[in-house]
A and B are shown apart, each in its own frame.
Chain A
Amino acid sequence: MTVAFDEMTNADGSVRAAYTALARWLSNVPPDVLDHRRKEAEFIFRKIGITFAVYGDSDAQERLIPFDIIPRVLTGGEWSRLSKGLEQRTKALNLYIKDVYSKREILRAGIVPEDLVYQNPVFRPEMNGQKVPHDLYVHIAGIDVVRIDSETFYVLEDNARTPSGVSYMLENREIMMRLFPELFAENRVAPVENYADELLATLKSLAPTTATSDPVVVVLTPGIFNSAYYEHSFLADKLGVELVEGRDLFIKNDIVYMRTTEGPKRVDVIYRRLDDDFIDPLAFRPDSVLGVPGLMSAYHAGNVTLTNAVGTGVADDKAVYSYMPEIVRFYLGEEPILKNVPTWRCREADHLKYVLDNLHELVVKEVHGSGGYGMLIGPRADKAQIELFRAKLKQDPTNFIAQPTLALSTCPTFVEEGIAPRHVDLRPFVLTGSDRVRIVPGGLTRVALQAGSLVVNSSQGGGTKDTWVLEEN
């Protein structure tokens, strides 16, 4: 593998401009002070209860996501390019989903193969021909981005369903400001605290046109046993809206109400953090006790906005991902500002052949996989693992894509042996309202804490960092 691009230090040892103040500070601060602050941060996180649950790990019921106290820094110029690309990409995602559930021009034009839509398990025939408020589907998107050199950002993944992590973005900043106020005095860091205001404005702008001028917004959570429950309650709190569970809502005459101490109250916008499958036992999984019977019917009647819309999964699996550049060109007539990672679709015979011949140097992912599970990292795998994937690939090629192993950029990170470079990615959150697109500068930086590791997922031992976008003078 090539040497990864480090975001702080150039190959010749000089410090990149964005990190000037930070590097100076890092070289002056004694390691035991850093260690002390790190412990303090962990103590605060635990006390606040910012925990998450790991599925399949019964004995660690509530774990902390490790927080790295060294921030990751982007310049204003880098960010402005990035955010333009994110906006463009989210626009295209919205147009694509709308098209898929209405005219299907992109299928007729032969740009995206039909089976990718119709045989996609998260394609929702229930949405065919249905109008959604303001024709928008993906109101809150988490677009995962990686960097490979000073110029190039790749989109790694589009999350168009219920992307999580924004609470960490906000809490990380909060903690950094508490622990290192002196750093913020030396760097002009663009604020992220307005995220909740931006989100609320976005959600309100999405209310059905029949709603009152001050629509009622709620956050719908599966409940306290969900791994992201902390984030749900955090967001409801910051938004100043009710955090509801399915049982708090009911439908009467296709209108959604919540049960309150003063009787039923009408609900206009539901920011749901519950998968399609569970939102309405009458429409989807009949065994779901988390949802609201009749919700889809109220949705179809146009009496409530669900964010994100139902059926957005059809745009964010890894097979559709490989078509995103074409999707951007098709709907917007523009060149994509953000690149895709070169991707081989194993569904195509020549691609499959290439992949099978080069398994040892590729990353192979399941089309519907997430969280870093079920993937092969060729250069790190042993023979048995490679052969296992070879068999899987031959058996069901459409279920896989492959990508080159990227040299993800690294950032200085505080680990056991001191300050060392670790690989990072970035998840900015893109809010699409009926009025405009809003993106707070930065996003959530995830970091792979193991030396050399490329897996940043929190469920697999990744950590997070505060992400700074420096304001230009």
Chain B
Amino acid sequence: MLSRTADNLYWLARYMERADCLARLLDVTQRLAQLPVAYGGSTNEWRSALLTAGCADQFKQLHGDDATEQNVINFLAFAPENPSSIRNCFEIARTNARSVRTALTIEMWETINSSWLELKRYSTKDMTREELARFLSFVKETSLRFDGAAYRTMLRNDAFWFSRVGMYVERADNTARILDVKYHVLLPDSEHIGGPLDYFQWSSILRSVSALTSFHWVYRESVKPWLVADLLILNAQMPRSLTSCYQNISRYLDDIAAYYGRQGTAQRLARSTFTRLSNSRMDDVFQTGLHEYIETFVSENNRLGATVTEQYLL
């Protein structure tokens, strides 16, 4: 297939996934910020959302240090100045989709196009909490529909594989970032690790990635930091976990390699990351420090993205 087509499919999937992640991030942030003040102390959840999304610098250029709820929501969800705002994700996804319409199924295109049309209906200024909640669930549903349309209707060939690789690279990045929220949202001095606030924060994170129920099924005990990290990093049964993402990335890159009859750097990188994840134990992760582990992972994941681009998409 055309390199440009593969590139468009890859980024289309990434942007749809990113929009979903941003919606989940806003969701979890709102939950965290809604804690009674007695719990809340002096932490700033909205600033942490910016750090997690990796766009604190761009925000600062626009709003300075004024990380209020309204500013951050506008910035992450709607701001035209933020290249990765949810609105821009949808815009870019649709532009990409238009340029590769021939590679999309009708169902995929219709999902993107109708969401793009619907997006215009949401006002940006002064959304009430209910409106925001409606908007966020619209974004998540769009992403579900797109994913479902792709899964159910696409031919299993390179077009499908490139779009899946894009989706999983993005999802791995997003899972890592959401897990890192907890690093940025500091516990106030009056609270202790394992205390009620700590517990609440961890379960909000699980909830934001729709994993709270899964957690209970897998561990059958109360929410503990290392178990949450185990679920989201190492557990291969968990479809958002880093291990699961890399299992899929490896698999689809291998499909591409087999189809084209040639392996490359991207395949080797993906396999080695997958192997390392499979061999990790939670003790080691916490020994290195969860935040540091995640930072390393995010940059490794970026390197894989760059390699895929170089190998196939130019």
B108 to chain A, nearest CB (A): 12
Complex Cα distance A259/B101, Å? 18
Q: Which of B2, B117, B313 contacts A244 (CB 8 A)?
A: B2
Taken together as a complex, chains A and B put the C-alpha atoms of A107 and B101 apart, in Å, by 46
Does A100 make an interface contact (CB < 8 A)? no
1/0 per residue B1-28: CB within 8 Å of A? 1111110000000000000000000000
Interface range on chain A: under 10, 10 to 19, 20 to 34, or 35 or more? 20 to 34
Q: Check B113–A47 contact: CB distance below 8 A.
A: yes
A48-B110, A261-B313 known; A233 and B1 CB under 8 Å?
no
| B101 and A233 form a contact (CB under 8 A) | yes
**CB of B280 to closest CB in A, whole Å:** 32
Q: A47-B113, A49-B109 are in contact. Are A242 and B98 (CB under 8 A)?
A: no
Contact in complex: B114, A229 (CB < 8 Å): no
Report the Cα distance A46→B102, complex, angstroms: 18
Residues of A within 8 A of B114 (CB): 47
**Interface residues as binary, B103-117 with A (CB distance below 8 Å gives 1, 0 otherwise):** 000100110011001
Within 8 A of B (CB), among A403-430: none
Q: B101 — nearest CB in chain A belongs to which residue?
A: A233
Q: Chain B nearest CB: distance from A271 CB in Å?
A: 13
Is A237 a contact of B101 with CB atoms below 8 Å?
yes
B residues in contact with A244, CB < 8 Å: 2
The answer to whether the Cβ of A224 comes within 8 Å of any Cβ in the partner chain is yes
Chain A's interface: helix, strand, loop or mixed, by majority? mixed
Set of chain B residues within 8 Å of A243, measured between Cβ atoms: 101-102
User: How many angstroms from the CA of A34 to the CA of B158 in the assembled complex?
Assistant: 44
- Provide the bound-state CA to CA distance between A261 and B8, in Å: 12
Cβ of A243 to closest chain B Cβ, rounded Å: 5
Interfacial chain A residues near B260, Cβ < 8 Å:
261-262
Complex CA–CA separation, A261 to B110 (angstroms): 26
Instruction: List A residues 202-249 near B (Cβ within 8 Å).
Output: 223-224, 229, 233-234, 236-237, 242-245, 247-248
Q: List the A side residues contacting B2 at CB < 8 Å.
A: 242, 244, 248, 258-261
Interface residues of A in 232-282 (CB under 8 A from B): 233-234, 236-237, 242-245, 247-248, 258-262
Interface flag for B138 (CB, 8 Å) = no
Q: Is the Cβ of A261 less than 8 Å from the Cβ of B117?
A: no
The digit string for A109-147, where 1 denotes a CB below 8 A from any CB of B, is: 000000000000000000000000000000000000000
**Given A223-B99, A233-B101, A243-B102, A261:B3 Cβ within 8 A:** yes
Q: Which of B's residues lie within 8 Å of A, judged by CB?
A: 1-6, 95, 98-99, 101-102, 106, 109-110, 113-114, 117, 158, 162, 256, 260, 312-314
Apart from A237-B101, A247-B4, A259-B2: 16 A-B pairs, beta carbons within 8 A: A47-B110, A47-B117, A48-B109, A48-B110, A223-B99, A233-B98, A234-B101, A237-B102, A242-B1, A242-B2, A242-B102, A243-B101, A244-B2, A259-B3, A259-B4, A260-B3
Interface residues of A (CB under 8 A from B): 46-49, 223-224, 229, 233-234, 236-237, 242-245, 247-248, 258-262
